[in-house]
Amino acid sequence: SSTVAVRAEGVGINPDVRKNEDKVVDSVVVSELSKPLTAYCRCWRSGTFPLCDGSHVRHNKATGDNVGPLLLKK
């Protein structure tokens, strides 16, 4: 709807991750992953961004959204 579009334009998707940066970019050297499975946040609510800390669960419950992490498997 237009309401959603206006809200997205005014606020954006990122509520508070590294707002001092022009663009939040992270890179991962896949060959240097230490764990067999690492979860990266895609909901922008994690307190350990870019890693997922499970905050998407609360976000999904509060909003009816269905977001979850990107899993990198070694």
Q: Which residues bind ligand FES (CB under 6 A)?
A: 41-43, 45-46, 52-56, 67-69
Cβ-defined contacts of 28-36 (< 8 Å, 24+) = 28/72, 30/72, 30/74, 33/72, 33/74, 35/74, 36/73, 36/74
Nearest CB to ligand FES, comparing residues 1 and 25: 25
For ligand FES, the closer of residues 6 and 33 by Cβ is: 33
Residue 73 falls in the annotated catalytic set = no
The residue among 68 and 72 lying less far from ligand FES, judged by its C-beta, is 68
* Catalytic residue from among 19, 23, 35, 73: 23
> Rg (Cα) of the chain, in Å, rounded?
14
CB of 61 to ligand FES, least distance (A): 13
Q: How far apart are CA 32 and CA 1, in angstroms?
A: 43
Name the residues annotated as catalytic.
23
